[in-house]
Structure 1
Amino acid sequence: MPSEFDLIRRHFTRPARHTALSVGDDAALLAPRAGMQLAVSTDMLVAGTHFFPDAEPEALGWKTLAVNISDLAAMGAEPRWAVLALSLPVADEAWIAAFARGFFACADAFGVDLAGGDTTRGPLNLCVTILGEVPAGAAITRGGARTGDDLWITGTPGHAALGLAHLRGEIALPPTAAQSCLASLHRPQPRVAFGQALRGVASAMLDVSDGLLGDLGHILESSGCGARIDVAALPLAALHACGADEALSRRCLLSGGDDYELLFTAPPSQREHLAALALGHGLPLSRIGTITATAGELVLHETDGREHTTAHAGYDHFA
């Protein structure tokens, strides 16, 4: 059976692009570029909580890195380095090789060096610390939304949750729709380039990992404001086209997680610029509401004109 160090050398040691010293020493040596701030985030994926224990390892390798890269996209940062810690029940070389292929495919796609990490025996647990750069003072945080700002969402949120509902037997999607939704669930596409294009445009931003309403609540809390969502403006048609009814479509879009789309606010004066950006990036973009003055209040404006407040609690690991 290969040793821990054999596994690291065989599957996780590669030439570095922008790391002074990477895998193989007690610590990595990084050299941030002049005028940049470091953006750092950590996410953990745990078998049985974040993914099914029998998940396909190559897709899991991609997702393990992609969900972390998405955190940097949400701040307008450029991903540069990752540190990977793996807890593995057994040293299954075929599984590890497939996981590494997916991980490095994502790393190559977004220009990330694996700078170091650790492996140990234990329950299947995948943890990445991602580091990136953003020009000093240019990071987009959750705390900049202002009354009157528009509320925007990229892409087609809800597809990942619909894919999960398909896996759980809650709906039987047609083959083409199932393939699309499962791709959203298993191989999310961080909006890195679009996030960087939003520097100086978006007033507040985050990525949707725990559900649109729940994650919007973080912006409202950090910015001390409220929001009004126009249900007619939500991109529900894409979910209907997959075969989901109105109730399931709304649940997946508003409360489903794992989309890793960008939810952001921007002044109305930026509407034409944002439309041009979305067109240039080939990315669907929906203006779904407005930021309001009442701190913490989240109102849904229904298609029939009714309005009602709603909770904005997202997924909670300890609830």
Structure 2
Amino acid sequence: MKPVDVEGNVHDERVYNILMVEDNPNHYKILQRFIKKSEKPLKVDHVVSAHEFFNVFLAKNYDLILLDYNLAQYTGLNILKKLNELQVMTPIVMVTQQKDPEIAINAMKMGALDYVIKTKENFQHLPEKILAYVNDYENELANNDVFKLKRRNLLRNNDVRKLVQYLISNKQLELKPESSTKYTFSPGHIELETEEETLEKVLQILTLNKMMVKKPVGVKVTCPRCDSDNVVSAPVCPKCGGKVFVKNTIGGDEPLRCLSGCGETFSKVKVAYKCNSCFKEFSQEESRYKHIYVYQVNPQMLEEFKNVLVSNDEMQLWEEKNKQYAENLEQTKQMHEEIRTQLRALIEQQIKKN
């Protein structure tokens, strides 16, 4: 399947992003060697543990996961179970030296597309099979009624529907960072009455279900103590960390001179940071980093989303009309009951007079 961009342009070349979970680096090297030999457009990232896998997997869009069975502390089946709990819609192939048919059956039951034994011959054919796995799965994802129903049900969720509808109606098929230093999805930014935390959760659900694509576009500094990204930076002296320095006018090759205590001259400043949440001051070496992402509506599903949203709008309109009809019917019943009560009272009064 050729990639299509937001404007509907078809591109001939596509690089398939593969994540290999393998604690034996030699097996990763063997696969890389056969990929290079095959000249298939595959880019393989390699992790060696379950912990590293989840950190990397949630930070990038992968077309396929190659999952080893024997890992430190975890097995491949443990990871499969966790991915099922997250409702991840990324194809997974178990690649292992285990020839136990029971493991293979359990892996397939838990959603693995295939179970590949590690042999030289299988590694040799794996690059070509990876392309087939991905293309077959994407066709299934786009056309299978079960997946369509799942997406339709997701779009009936009010928060999900509002976000997708906003993007499509405003022809804004991407959510971008507000600036290079601050990355938020505040209600004011996209004009939605949705809490930022809820919106982040919606974006994660849409990404895991391949309804939106998440692309890393940069990184931001976060506090090593509290992990907040509410951080400010300041230039400091590279020798003493002082914050006061001036242009050097007393001679020498260095253009700057520290006035904070050391009095040394230098040509380049260092960067120091302060967290506005916990007020910790820290150096560049202590810094942690988070990816900055752009979220894009999956262009291959754009028409489907439009049709579903129209259908959902019609359903919502019908439900509102039905609700209004029920309310009118209830009001009519109450009115009739009041009239009957009044008539009964009049009849009783007339009987008493006679």
TM bracket, shorter-chain basis: under 0.3
Larger Rg: 2
- The TM-score with structure 1 as length reference comes to 0.27
Q: RCO higher in 1 or 2 (8 Å CA, sep ≥ 6)? A: 1
**Between Structure 1 and Structure 2, which shows a larger proportion of helix residues?**
2
